[in-house]
Chains A and B, each alone.
Chain A
């Protein structure tokens, strides 16, 4: 406990963004309590109202309160982004560890597929996959995961290759330790820090990619409160109702900045060797 407190005290930047990150997560969790209205509640008589004391961020075409939608958007974005990062992390690490540890044909097949994915602009393929599977948030997560796992696989593989040569792994093999136990007990703990650092730094980027897909119409579907989708819906009323594209955009930027900075400071805390 004392050690944790010292980390917070010594790393001011980390502490600040850790708290801000908690605030964002708090907004997502307590969205129903924080938002003044139901984000899906359409009141047609109040459509496209300017920001006022009743509706601080104004209302959209269907008369839904924008502030409530932005708050609930935090929930959508955060849940989907964390799922996405978790999926990529697990799949990428798993494939990378297997490729690195077993080598041979397994390695060749996995890494050639990874090469194929990497030698290609990711978003194009993600758009194609998401569009073909049909637009919804789960498919958006699947499509981005399908093109992003390669980074983790490569990282995990290179670290396994390094660890594999150490004497204690050899000793474990000679002792007759089961392979899965070697991987879990001796290999994984040696690389998990580096992997977590990478994953934390990726949260912001992944959030942006998900929002892009939703903006293009290949992610969240109406009436889900999602920032990218809200911007897409709002852009028709650019001249009449500029608030529809200002607030969701600001929400995205704030969230991504917080998670990017948090990712950077986590790296500084866990891995002080790097600049």
Chain B
């Protein structure tokens, strides 16, 4: 990517973030239920009309929509996303404290996914239309149809309830209790990724240079490791980046099942108690993360594919 392209991408990211934030803010504005009333009930106060009026005024809820949005946006730029109703702490602090457990788990899941998918995908591609291929394709087919929450429940009941290897109650963030949630996520994601690896390798195997190499009598293993795999890296990195994005989105279900104290778990709780500032903060934060990952993926092309370095 050239500097100009990077600049353009940054501009695009900012526009998208602006749109997303406007959308979520509008959504909370339109949704039924009065935040002031919810907040007071959460605090255990009986909401009298005067108290409601006062709270609304304090929260700035009596102001027009655009004024509210503007002041929220001003806060966001300076790192202040408001106060969470249900956790009684600044949204930014809550997000940061929930972010690390989710990131840790996602990265472990990503690692597991790579370890599972890449060998299987290559195996299936190399033995196209033979037994290993049918076997891998069969597994991945069932794999994409199994809901991650069911997989999580089954694993939890086997390893938690039957074998008692892990604590069913959850809540801790040590490595041992991270394995199962990460494995659940990894298994759920790897069905799709294995298929993508397989088709990427297949596409490369059908290139002319592979046929050429075969004709020159180069060993199949050399063709695969020295020629095909380095070329496959590029699409695989793209797909991996996209997977990390959907990992971040998919953690909610798994975190709920294993009671993992991460962002997805927090978001579901926040939405259930209509903790609007926290929900807005969460959506915006995920959007920022997702787009940064995509940008990094695009930037990594420049290193993986030297052709893109040339300024054209």
Contacts and interface: CB of A to CB of B under 8 A. Distances in A.
Interface of A: 112-113, 115-116, 119-125, 127-129, 131-134, 204, 208, 211-212, 215-218, 228, 231, 235, 238-239, 242, 245, 249, 252-253, 256-257, 260-261
Nearest to B271: A131
Given A132-B31, A256-B145, A119 B153 contact: no
Nearest to A246: B154
B8 to A, nearest CB: 13
A130 B164 CA distance: 35
B257 A235 contact: yes
A260 B137 CA distance: 13
20 contacts: A112-B19, A119-B287, A121-B245, A121-B248, A121-B286, A123-B252, A131-B268, A132-B27, A132-B31, A208-B145, A208-B147, A215-B147, A215-B149, A217-B272, A235-B153, A238-B153, A238-B157, A238-B168, A252-B147, A261-B141
A215 B274 CA distance: 18
B142 A122 contact: no
B144 interface: yes
A71 B19 CA distance: 42
A204 B141 CA distance: 12
A217 B269 CA distance: 10
Contact of B31 (A134, A212, A239, A260): A134
Contacts, number: 125
Contacts of A231: 149-150, 153
Given A116-B23, A133-B31, A231-B150, 16 more contacts: A112-B19, A121-B245, A121-B248, A121-B249, A122-B249, A127-B271, A128-B283, A132-B271, A132-B279, A212-B148, A212-B253, A245-B150, A249-B153, A252-B147, A253-B147, A257-B141
Nearest to A113: B19
A128 B275 CA distance: 11
Contacts of A134: 31-32
A132 B30 CA distance: 9
Contact of A253 (B142, B161, B249, B274): B142
B147 A212 contact: yes
B268 A216 contact: yes
B223 to A, nearest CB: 22
B294 A260 contact: no
A260 B144 contact: yes
Contacts of A116: 16, 19-20, 23
Interface string B242-276: 00011011101100110000000001100110100
A122 B253 CA distance: 14
Contacts of B287: 119-120
Contact of B290 (A120, A127, A216): A120
A132 B28 contact: yes
Contacts of B268: 127, 131, 216-217
Nearest to B245: A121
B291 interface: yes
A239 B161 contact: yes
A214 to B, nearest CB: 10
A218 B271 contact: yes
